[in-house]
Structure 1
């Protein structure tokens, strides 16, 4: 499951005033760059502190709030990251990237129905969002695996289920116990566009 990087492209269509403000204030771009650089250097605590300081002065800034959610994800603070992306979705429901990242967090917790719903919203908002489509496919496969496993439990003699489960295990790799690996092995790695 892949996290998305926040792309300012949707902002160009949705928030022309924000684009103008960013063009006028180069200091803002430096703040985003500084936080990103700290995160890439593995200094997530410093990146979070800088993001929080920025947000305290500009609490409605969607890009820094998104970046804050990515930082929380990097730090393994899933509950806080879920809260951050959920609040961003409530304030800016037209942005698909927070839905994608929220879905990655849900999938990592094996909450595939919630992940599916978030990804379907991301795809609805941006039908050309390739990362969300790929993640949605992965979630559908996980949901299929759950259904096939349940069918096997209910009817152990059903010969059509084991080959389907084997194919899914082959796609995702199999642990020694035969279980599928974690839902989102790369959920902490933001995709840079």
Structure 2
């Protein structure tokens, strides 16, 4: 009987490991399915899949991140901001939610909020090139606003006029880089 216990233990460990591998594969498929539905514009289906998944795993950061992308694509920026803000509070170590939050803020001309979010993203991940690009765009937009204010106060300021013209060429189109793709689960 003592020989059967070690074998049973090994079998149970192998069974548990196979369940974990199968579970990870299912989750990867769910993420891929939602991403594909999002890419093909099937937003209602993507939202339904996200909602179903989150009923089982409501704290999953990657699926919640995808939820924000679906909300944003569906023209629900306030909901996407709420979702991303919750992610930044619960998972402050993830830079992608900060980047996407900044993109939404910038699209609403809330450049100070966008700057703050992007500065946090690059503080968390100093190698995050997209966040740095977006931060540059936000800084340029803020600079343009400052030069415009300077011209309002002194309409004969030729340097401010030149700087505004230069920034307009840099900012056309004046949209930040694309939102981040969902981070891979670890």
TM-score (norm 2): 0.82
Q: Secondary structure at the match of 2:158?
A: coil
- Where does structure 1 differ by over 4 angstroms across 4 or more consecutive aligned residues? 21-24, 189-193
Is residue 184 of structure 2 the alignment partner of residue 184 of structure 1?
no
Query: Greater shift after overlay, 32-41 or 53-62?
Result: 32-41
Check 1:168–1:22 CA distance in 2 against 1; reply closer, same or farther (3 A cut): farther
Equivalent positions of 1:115-154 (< 5 A) are 115-154=114-153
Query: Greater shift after overlay, 155-164 or 134-143?
Result: 155-164
Q: Gapped runs of 5+ residues in structure 1? A: 1-20, 174-180
C-alpha deviation, 1:184, in angstroms: 2.6
User: Which one has more relative contact order, counting CA pairs under 8 Å at least 6 apart?
Assistant: 1
Q: Secondary structure at the match of 2:155?
A: coil
Equivalent positions of 1:6-85 (< 5 A) are 23-25=21-23, 26-85=25-84
For 1:16-69, what per-residue CA distance to the aligned partner results, in whole angstroms no more than 9, with x for missing partners? xxxxx9745111111111111111221011101100110111011000000000
Q: Secondary structure at the match of 2:109?
A: coil
Structure 2 CA distance, aligned partners of 1:148 and 1:23?
57
Check 1:117–1:27 CA distance in 2 against 1; reply closer, same or farther (3 A cut): same
Contact 1:47 1:71 in 2 (8 A): yes
Number of residue-to-residue matches in the alignment:
164
Q: Gapped runs of 5+ residues in structure 2? A: 1-18
Q: Secondary structure at the match of 1:160?
A: helix
Q: Secondary structure at the match of 2:92?
A: coil
Structure 2 CA distance, aligned partners of 1:122 and 1:131?
10
TM-score (norm 1): 0.79
The equivalent residue for 2:160 is 161
Structure 1 CA distance, aligned partners of 2:47 and 2:152?
46
Query: Greater shift after overlay, 62-71 or 31-40?
Result: 31-40
Structure 1 CA distance, aligned partners of 2:150 and 2:176?
26
Equivalent positions of 1:69-108 (< 5 A) are 69-108=68-107
Contact 1:22 1:29 in 2 (8 A): no
Larger proportion of helix: 2
